[in-house]
Amino acid sequence: MAVNLLGLNHGEINSSAALIQDGRLIAGCPEERFNRQKRSKAFPTKSIEFCLEAGNISLSDCNAIAQAWNPGAAWTKFNPTISSGRAGRDQYFYAIPDNLFNICGRQPSDWVKMELAPESGLPPIYYVQHHRSHAANGFFLSPFEEAAILTCDWRGEFECTTFSHGRGINIEVLQTQNVPNSLGMFYATFTEFLGYMPDSDEWKVMALSAFDLDCTEFERRIRETIRLNEDGTFELDQAFYKGAILDQPKTYTNKFVEMFDGREGIPGEEAQEWHCTIAKAMQNVAEDVAVHFLTHLHGQTRCKNVALSGGFFMNSVFNGRVLDKTPFDELYVSFAPADVGNSIGAALYVSHQILGIERQIEFTSSSIGPQFNNTEIESALNRRKIGFKYFKNIENELARLIAKGSIIGILNGSMEFGERALGNRSILADPRNPETKNKINSAIKYREAYRPFAPAVLIDRVSDVFDVAEGFECPFMEKVVPIRADWRERLGAVCHVDGSGRVQTVDTYYNPYFHKIISSFDKLTGVPVLLNTSFNINGEPIVLSPDDAISTFFNSGLDYLALENYLISKSDC
């Protein structure tokens, strides 16, 4: 009988659920896709229901539930406000262990287990340390039997960085660093300072950092606020950073503002040279800190492979430079390294690290979400009285329309789990015309004009178009790499200001539908690349269902909508 592990990321940014069966990832979904509240922290009820249905099981069939946060991490010292009195009997769950630790000595573990009576119908619940969940997501999804593991984000419990060594089904934590010395918080501080939302809009700052400006002076000032230590850690001067003080506004101090001559970014203002220069300077310093971490980790493990996880490694610009800047030979970043992926990580941690279930070392696609059949699609279209055309080989028709300049929303197969759409819930367009980028940003995505779009390329042509070695793979759009000089003008809609692109390699095995569209486009135009961006408008989650896709289609400037083999045009409606 299968061993079923249900993973949860509840109460954190972008709650989610995932199901592991016999060590293999079967299903998963962020709750935001169901409740349509972007980055929702709601309990992932609908996601759990989907996972159980996908696994053909009930909750009582689960061997364990894993939550990606460990409140027991706070048992490092006695907490008299909870553990001395009794405001409510529910506090026994925390207060009794806290008092007992005063007797036996404080050695809290990386996880806590809650087990109810069998007749409750609930399996044991494991509360897994946040960064152990990140590490498990990074290593256990990777193709590596052994790897160094670096996790890095704003904070999880108290930790913000961990150095680990993964072997087989075990992850050994070598070293940790706690807040306030957090690289994720460092990046978030500058995000807020530039006028954006911290722990949310770091994508925008990363895009701004690509502009070719002299940032030498700002970089010098920023470097004076940090210190790299010989033990592989770093320190932030707390005279400048206060993101760890949760009861005060802003993540930076007045002295921080003075460092930049008294100017602060204003939310909503158009990005100027000042914003770009500071973003570039900060990105350079952040990369140097991350390289400092990785160089130290390589010295600890002597591994040729490295797995990166945690919100900081949504930084695809840095990910594309890791192997050039560090001693490692191979890199893995999962399709969901940020908190949303911790439902997967927590379940994998319990499955392998605690229960000892063998790993299935294989490529794991991000397409583990809901999918919809023809009956469900036709029902949604007929309910809204929307006309459509059915194509047996719709991929050729989509390529033809894209080559003529149309912008098309795609709903096909199982929805992708992470932050990036990879061809199943995507907006596709011709990558050649720079005006296409402007149109999508202004009339479809409703976002800043400077933000770039990703090029999706046939995997066997990637080294022809991009300055990468033959055999290079980037299936999750997780790295930014240089576009070859002779292709930059030809790819005006996906070439960023520095000549780079956040590339996605597409093969026939894992996405034959998307691969065929690109192949057909290549035959028509001689360009084996399409512009690919997530199928949503600004402020909304990626579409999940045909109804979501139809609503987004009519609320945006898209020209066509493809629901599997059904094609909808606004001119026909």
Which amino acid would we find at residue 233? T
| Domain presence at residue 79 | no
Please indicate, yes or no, whether residues 125 and 177 belong to a single structural domain of this protein: no
From 333, 358, 390, give the residue that closes a domain: 333
Please indicate, yes or no, whether residues 161 and 226 belong to a single structural domain of this protein: yes
Bond prior to 180 in cis (omega within 30° of 0): yes
Please indicate, yes or no, whether residues 443 and 553 belong to a single structural domain of this protein: yes
| Domain presence at residue 98 | no
The span from the CA of 207 to the CA of 196, in Å, is: 13
The DSSP bridge pattern shows strands 4-9 and 64-67 to be: parallel
Please indicate, yes or no, whether residues 122 and 160 belong to a single structural domain of this protein: no
- CATH of residue 456's domain is 3.90.870.20
Give SS3 for 479: strand
Please indicate, yes or no, whether residues 48 and 147 belong to a single structural domain of this protein: no
Which tokens in the block code for residue 544? Answer: 């999940």
The span from the CA of 86 to the CA of 65, in Å, is: 28
Please indicate, yes or no, whether residues 146 and 253 belong to a single structural domain of this protein: yes
| Domain presence at residue 135 | no
If one counts the domains in the chain, the total is 3
Enclosing H/E stretch for 17: strand 16-21
* Full domain range(s) for residue 459: 374-572
| Domain presence at residue 418 | yes
Which amino acid would we find at residue 251? T
Where does residue 262 fall: left (phi above 0), alpha (psi -120 to 50 degrees), or beta otherwise?
A: left
20 forms bridges with which residues in the sheet? 5, 25
Please indicate, yes or no, whether residues 317 and 431 belong to a single structural domain of this protein: no
pLDDT at 111: 96
For tokens 């960064």, the residue is 131
Please indicate, yes or no, whether residues 120 and 158 belong to a single structural domain of this protein: no
- CATH of residue 18's domain is 3.30.420.40
| Domain presence at residue 172 | yes
| Domain presence at residue 287 | yes
The ranges of the chain with pLDDT < 50 are none
Please indicate, yes or no, whether residues 151 and 118 belong to a single structural domain of this protein: no
Please indicate, yes or no, whether residues 174 and 229 belong to a single structural domain of this protein: yes
pLDDT at 519: 98
Burial class of residue 132, CB neighbours in 10 A (0-12, 13-18, 19+) = buried
Helix H, strand E, coil C: the string for 534-555 is: ECCCCCCCCCCCHHHHHHHHHC
| Domain presence at residue 38 | yes
Please indicate, yes or no, whether residues 58 and 168 belong to a single structural domain of this protein: no
Cα-Cα-Cα-Cα torsion 331, 332, 333, 334, nearest 10 degrees, comes to: 170
Strands (E), 181-329: 226-228, 234-236, 305-309
From 280, 304, 333, give the residue that closes a domain: 333
List pLDDT tens digits, range 14-70: 999 999 999 999 999 999 999 999 999 999 999 999 999 999 999 999 999 999 999
Please indicate, yes or no, whether residues 385 and 249 belong to a single structural domain of this protein: no
Q: Which of 264, 290, 281 is nearest to 220 (CA)?
A: 281
Model confidence, pTM: 0.97
Contact assessment for residue 4 and residue 21, using Cβ atoms and an 8 Å cutoff: yes
Question: Which DSSP state fits 246?
Answer: T
| Domain presence at residue 234 | yes
